[in-house]
């Protein structure tokens, strides 16, 4: 199960990365987050502003999800 963070929390983390001389990894550690998650939030913010930090609600059918998993297994793809 993945953690869900609201856009205000994400914005505070991103602003901390941009404002301080602390490394991205250190900011992630301070908030008990994976550095790749923080890097993704930072990239989304740089490209789209605050809008890039909002949750995206998409609903996929069970058939679509199964097809994705089968392709991942067949082609040796990672979950990312």
Residue 37 in tokens: 């998650």
Residue 74, exposed/middle/buried by CB under 10 A (0-12, 13-18, 19+)?
Answer: exposed
Q: From the CB of residue 19, how many other CB atoms can be counted at a distance below 10 Å?
A: 9
Give the model confidence (pLDDT) of 20-61 as tens digits: 788 999 999 999 999 999 999 999 999 999 999 988 777 888
pTM for this entry: 0.67
pLDDT at 12 over 80: yes
No. of H helices and E strands in the chain? 4, 0
Output the CA torsion 20→26→29→33 (10° steps). Answer: 70
């Amino acid at each position: 199960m993945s953690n869900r963070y609201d856009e205000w929390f994400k914005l505070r983390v991103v602003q901390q990365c941009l404002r301080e001389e602390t490394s991205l990894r250190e900011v992630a550690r301070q908030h008990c987050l994976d550095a790749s998650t923080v890097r993704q939030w930072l990239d989304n913010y740089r490209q789209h502003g605050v809008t890039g930090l909002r949750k995206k609600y998409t609903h996929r059918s069970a058939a679509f999800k199964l097809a994705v998993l089968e392709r991942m297994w067949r082609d040796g793809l990672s979950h990312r």
